[in-house]
Structure 1
Amino acid sequence: MILRDRQNRIVSTLRADGAASVRELAEALSVSESTIRRDLEILDRNGELTRTYGGAVRKPGVAVGKHVMRDAGLTSRVADAAAEMVTGGTVVILDLGPTTPLVARRLHGHDITVVTPNLAVFDELRDDEAVRLVLLGGVVRRGSRGLVGSLAELALGQVNADLVFLSCTGVRANGQVVDDLAVEAPSKQSMIAASDRVVLLAPETNFPGTGALRLCSLADIDVLVTTPGAPGATLALCRNAGGEVVAV
């Protein structure tokens, strides 16, 4: 997400909710708390919000609008469940997407290795000396804050991970897991090939979701982490193929 888009979402959130903490905004936007603090300082100077201790409030007289981050609670619950699967010594791949930086935030202090093309994950964990952090190479996609392309795919060919936390933009009723960004799909498929266990992070809003690029099928997923609103018939496809479904 580019700078101005992120700051627009911060302002929209404050117009809707009246106030928000740095932590809440960081989780909703999948960026570090230090990034949010810098954004709030800029927006405060521009007169678009009022900075407070630990967060910000909307400017007086601004009407309350519709909540633009209604899905933040779902992704936060999925991230909580994912982080609980990680044990000491694990080699973890954290995919591109909005949920994996939230998982990274919950892994601080863990004696693990994290491999990622996600710059938001890197930003979250780079100062944590307990975590061995491997940033894949590739071409920077500023919109999604990720590294993609043949360099990332070649690097993943040298990785043997215990598990990958995989994101997608859609899970179809026929069990196909899809994405809507052609440039990211090959890297995601390389992550699947490099991992012993594949954990799909897909809140109910991803059913059926969007996208036409096939990443894999639910038969390729070891664990599907979702929320209770996901359709039972689709979840049954995962269970029938031997996968575990965790609804949080």
Structure 2
Amino acid sequence: MRIGFIGVSNMFLEERQDIILSMLARDGKVRVRDLSEKFKVTEDCIRKDLGALEKKGKLKRTYGGAVRIRENSHMVEVSKHRNTDVEAKQRIAQAAVKLIHEKDMVFLDISTSNLAIAELLVKMELEVTVVTNMIDILVVLARNPKIRVVFAGGKINKSRDGFWGGMTLDFISRLKPDIAFVGAVGVDVKENSVSTYDIDDGINKAAIIRHSKKAYVVAEARKLSTDGNYNYTTLDTLSGLITDSEPAADIRAAADSYGVEIILP
């Protein structure tokens, strides 16, 4: 009888912890008091649950509760993930091109979402100037004679799909684009940060934002819960964030507090 009782207890413990993780995935955070009331157990019991889950790397405990751990997928090279989230990037591109006007100077930096923007632009009749430091974007836009393409060269990057470094940065500093779209590895709306992996890439992105009249970060919805290793700007420096699906209410509220518009397809 005793063995049977322990088995039932352990099974409930695992089920309770699975539900806690599901709530974290949905809401981004949980509170000890709320969980105690939900499961009809003591707050000390919930704290032990959170401690066990933290040891497994499933969450991060905070005062009075826990928060979801933001992922770092370490997909450093842009060229290696150009075939991921294809539909999301196409939706982002559809929203982005609506912001571009005739005669605009547009900056598209190294980003597979920006490559999707280029693939839409090349099919349009807009007469624009596009500045880019990404080789694939240059190749795509060369097919449309109405688009004036300016390439920001310099030192080729690690993945050999674009340029950055001092020469690229000097060139960017001389421009005043009407609108810029910059990629991101992670967007932490609540912490007011936008990140990438490589410092040189981040320095370029920050300069593009600084010198452009309007600047938008393009990021798939999954990147609202991931991080890079280098924070290159804050959300309040941006004109907006373009993503592919409606974020959680608390994320939208945080964006609103910084005056950042979230733009959807």
Same fold (TM over 0.5): yes
Contact 1:169 1:211 in 2 (8 A): yes
- Whichever residue aligns with residue 176 of structure 2, its letter is N
Does residue 151 of the first structure (1) align with residue 167 of the second (2)?
Answer: yes
Question: Could you say if the C-alpha distance between residues 75 and 215 of structure 1 is closer, same or farther in structure 2, counting changes exceeding 3 Å?
Answer: same
Partner of 1:85: 99
In structure 2, runs of 5+ residues without a counterpart are 1-74
Distance 1:92 1:211 in 2: 25
Contact 1:112 1:130 in 2 (8 A): yes
CA-based RMSD of the aligned residues comes to 2.0
Deviations 1:211-246 (A, max 9, x none): 121111111111211132533323322222222211
The match for 2:148 among 132, 135, 153 is 132
- Whichever residue aligns with residue 238 of structure 2, its letter is I
> Which structure carries more strand by proportion?
1
User: If you compute each CA radius of gyration, which structure gives the higher value, 1 or 2?
Assistant: 2
Q: How far off its partner does 1:181 sit?
A: 1.5
In structure 1, runs of 5+ residues without a counterpart are 10-27, 30-68
Deviations 1:68-91 (A, max 9, x none): x4x211111001110111110111
Q: How far off its partner does 1:200 sit?
A: 1.1
Does residue 95 of the first structure (1) align with residue 109 of the second (2)?
Answer: yes
Please list every run of at least 4 consecutive aligned residues from structure 1 whose deviation after the TM superposition is greater than 6 angstroms.
none
Does residue 225 of the first structure (1) align with residue 239 of the second (2)?
Answer: no
Correspondence 1:170-185 to 2 at 5 A: 170-172=186-188, 173-185=190-202
Distance 1:129 1:176 in 2: 38
Contact 2:202 2:232 in 1 (8 A): yes
Does residue 207 of the first structure (1) align with residue 221 of the second (2)?
Answer: no
- Report percent identity of matched pairs: 21
Name the TM-score, length of structure 2 as normaliser.
0.65
Name the TM-score, length of structure 1 as normaliser.
0.69
Partner of 1:243: 260
Q: How far off its partner does 1:106 sit?
A: 1.0
SS at structure 2 position matched to 1:183: helix
The match for 1:163 among 173, 179, 185 is 179
Contact 1:238 1:244 in 2 (8 A): yes
SS at structure 2 position matched to 1:111: coil
Distance 2:127 2:204 in 1: 26
SS at structure 1 position matched to 2:150: strand
Deviations 1:45-85 (A, max 9, x none): xxxxxxxxxxxxxxxxxxxxxxxx4x211111001110111
Distance 2:158 2:229 in 1: 22
Q: How far off its partner does 1:169 sit?
A: 0.3
Q: How far off its partner does 1:192 sit?
A: 0.7
Contact 2:119 2:141 in 1 (8 A): yes
Does residue 122 of the first structure (1) align with residue 135 of the second (2)?
Answer: no
